[in-house]
Structures are given as structure tokens and as C-alpha cells.
Amino acid sequence: MRETFVHDHWSNRFAFIMAAVGSAVGLGNIWRFPYITGENGGGAFILIYVVTTIAIGLPILIAELMIGRMGGQSPVNTVNSIVDRFRLSAIWKLIGWGSVIGAFVVLSYYSVIGGWAFRYVLAGFMGGFSGMTPDAAGSFFGEFTGSAAQLTFWHTLFMAVNITIVLGGLKFGIERAVTVMMPLLFLLLVAMVIYGATTAGFSEGFAFLFDFDFSKVTANTFLTAIGQGFFSLSVALAAMMTYGAYLDRDVSIPRSAGIIAFADTLVALLAGLAIFPLVFTFALEPSGGPGLIFVTLPIAFGKMAAGGPLLATLFFLLLSVAAITSAISLLEPAVSWAEESWGFRRSVTAMIVGGAAWFVGLASVFSFNDWSGFFPLAPLGLLENATIFDALDYSITNILMPTIGLLMSLFAGWALSRDAVAEALDLSPFGLGFRAWRFLMRYLAPLGVLSIFIANVVAG
């Protein structure tokens, strides 16, 4: 075996928190969360989301950061080394490999959607949405996504920015990017919410988010909430294990994880408070699905008497910043593994890995246009109308991530001894916090993920 590769560590706790919050806050909060909430009936979904995030997502986030720090390597070699050290079953190695490959695949299509955000910054800036009718907004989006050349261009640009940041390494690339971008993101978001609060639709938007309608809740709502929570917290996709590996011993993981989860949930709710008032003010559909941000919102921007282009530019800039700081953490796991395995310079490694993800992403690009009639899983009788992009997104969020989450909770809750994890978290094994965490890891997290998984598969 090669000598253990020594990774850089975060400069300080602030840099780590910014990077981790940057990873968590992404398209998942600003694009996916609002439309999933809209599709699932609003308030009741949010309540379920918050509860499952605290009870299941947060404990797993703590476990991932902890495991990352225990190994100090890429998730693959971190998990392998822990398995070897404690002589555990090789089955756990799936966590490392599965999550790193999952992150790589997600990056391939995340970059495509990130490219849409970039494109819309430009459109907003050029005043491109003014006076847009619903039909015009639909065809603008349709023509854009219908063009393989356009999507490829913006996907390429997004990935290039991402690679440029990651190849600079932890301190000169990632830390510098996130410490500028995260405060900017927060300012932009607050500005959007303040604007939303001045619109006529604010109370309706608020009620939509916070009035509970339980009639729409099914087993599927829980799976969706857990899946969304995992995605939004960046767990089960190697990112947090990788960031944990760069963390010094003197930083409290439970406290950091609490901050990350709090900030992530706050941003999702604020994004809802920024978006839904506009949707209602201009009498648009809250249940617009994936098009909510890219079709519905431009109509609202286009109808604003003044400031529409400015607000549109700021909003899509916010979305772009959020997407980039997450994409960084989707690229880093495979890069850190490749650094350990190939022995190339980091810049070369980042370009090879990022370039490969870019190439795989072309399949998602084409699934919106030239290959939009190709349903890869249909021959198996599954997901009959799912394009490559849909099939990838569905299998990752509904199958791979719950599976990794389940394995992760069993690994941290059962495979590792109580004393080993207490030491790794720097907590007393008899303290209340530690016992609560371990209980959730051992029982609630695995049972929750498993039962909802089964209920969903059985219910079809």
C-alpha cells in the first residue's frame, strides 16, 4: 500500500462552517425545496420536513463529519481504514464507494441545472423577462432547454468555474470562494425576502408555507421529506465526510452540525418566503414543479412595474452562488480520492475528475432535447416516462441516498463501539446529548429510513 496521503486542513472553524453551509445550501434549498413544498401541499410538508431533518438528517450529519474526521482521508479510504482498524465487515466499504460515486453522478447533472442559473442571470440582466406572458416564459425555457448547444455551453461554463475553484486546493480555492460567496448569498436572500414582504401576496405566501394541510400527507410525503432533507444537508453523498476529514480535533462536531442544519433549514424557509409571495402576488401557480423557478418566477419578474430586471438578476445570482458552493463539495470527494490514488498534482486531478463529470453530464444535457424521448429504464418496466436526467435524479435521491443513509446509521450506531464514537465526538458516553444522538442513530434513523422506503416501494 502507498503511504497515506496528507490532506490540507481548514484554516479555522469559520472557514469550515462556511464551506459546509455552502455545501448544504444549494439548488436543493432554492430550486428544489420550494417546488417540492408546492407539490406536497405546503405547510404540512414543511412541518414533516423540519421534524425529520432534526431527528434523522442531523444525527446522520454528525455521524458523517465524525467518520470523516476519524479517517482523515477521502470517504473511500476513510471508511476502508476504519473497517480495517476495527476489523469490521467489508460490507461497510459500500458507504465510501457508493457515496463518492453518487456525488460524482449528482455533480454531472447538478452542473447542468447550475448552468441554467447562470443563463438566467444573464437573461435577467439583459431585461429579458420584462413583459413576459406565461406562454412566453414557457417557450423561453423550452427553447433554452431544447437546445443541446445552449445547455452544453452553460454546463461547460458552470463546471469550468467549479474546477477552477477546486483545483486551487482547500485554502486558496475552496475557502477563498466560500468566505466571499456565503455572506453575499445571505445578503441577496435577505434582500429578496424584504422585497417579498412588501408585496401584496406576502400573507398568502406565508400562509401557504405555514398553514398545515394534513389531507395531502401520505407515506410518500415522508420519503420525500427525508430524501429532500438528506439532499439539502448534503449527507449520503460523501461531501460531509470529505469536509469532516479536513477538520481539526478541537472543533465540536455536534455544535457545528447544529449550525449547519439550522442555517440550511433557515435558507430553505427564507427561499420559500422570497418566492411564494411573488407567485401569489402575480396570481401564478405554486405547484409549478421543477419549472417554478425557471418558468413561473420569470413571469413575476416580468410583471413587476419597476426593478424586475434587477431583482431577477439578483435572484439568479443567488441561485448560481448557492449552486457553485455546493458543486465544489460534490467534486471534492472524488478529487480527494484521486489525489490519494493517482499521485498527480491537484490541478491535474481536479481537471481530470471534473472533466469526466462534465462528460457524463452531457447525457443529462441531451435528455432535455435530442434524447428527450429516450427512457432508459422503460425496457425494465420502470419509470416509463423518465429521461436519463429523471432516472438519475430519481435513483439517487430515492434509492442510493436512503441506502447510504441507512448503512451510515447502522455503521455509526451499531458497528462502531460506543466508546469509539464517544471519543471521536469528544463527548462523554454518559452525557445526555451523546445518548440521544446514539439512540437516534441506532433506532430512529434506520427504522425511519427503512420503513418509509418499504412503504413507498410496496405502495408503488
Q: Please identify which residue in 10, 17, 21, 26 interacts with ligand PHE, judged by CB under 6 A.
A: 26
Give Cβ neighbours of residue 5 (< 8 Å, ≥ 6 apart).
73, 339, 340
Helix (H, G, I), strand (E, B) or coil at 235: coil
What is the amino acid identity at position 66? Answer: M
When the beta carbons of 103 and 427 are compared against ligand PHE, the nearer one is: 103
Instruction: Please give the grid coordinates belonging to residue 448.
Output: 425511519
Residue span binding ligand PHE (CB under 6 A) among the ranges 24-32, 194-202, 211-219, 283-291: 24-32
Instruction: Please give the grid coordinates belonging to residue 216.
Output: 395531502
Count of residues that interact with ligand PHE, criterion CB under 6 A: 15
Instruction: Please give the grid coordinates belonging to residue 277.
Output: 409571495
Does 265 help bind ligand PHE (rule: CB under 6 A)? no
Q: Please identify which residue in 52, 329, 398, 456 interacts with ligand PHE, judged by CB under 6 A.
A: 329
Q: How far is the CB of 198 from ligand PHE (least distance, A)?
A: 28
Does 326 help bind ligand PHE (rule: CB under 6 A)? yes
Q: Please identify which residue in 237, 317, 324, 335 interacts with ligand PHE, judged by CB under 6 A.
A: 237
Give Cβ neighbours of residue 161 (< 8 Å, ≥ 6 apart).
324
Does 234 help bind ligand PHE (rule: CB under 6 A)? yes
When the beta carbons of 73 and 234 are compared against ligand PHE, the nearer one is: 234
Q: How far apart are the first and last CA of the chain?
A: 46
Does 403 help bind ligand PHE (rule: CB under 6 A)? no
- C-alpha distances (whole Å) from 391 to each of 17, 376, 381, 412 are 33, 8, 13, 30
Site map (CB under 6 A) of ligand PHE, residues 85-124, x = contact: ------------------x---------------------
- Helix residue spans in 292-385 (DSSP H): 297-303, 308-342, 346-367
Does 231 help bind ligand PHE (rule: CB under 6 A)? yes
Compute CA 229 distance to the chain's CA centroid, rounded to the nearest angstrom: 9
Instruction: Please give the grid coordinates belonging to residue 427.
Output: 463527548
Q: How far is the CB of 122 from ligand PHE (least distance, A)?
A: 21
Name the site residues for ligand PHE (rule: CB under 6 A). Answer: 23-24, 26-29, 103, 231-232, 234, 237, 239, 326, 329-330
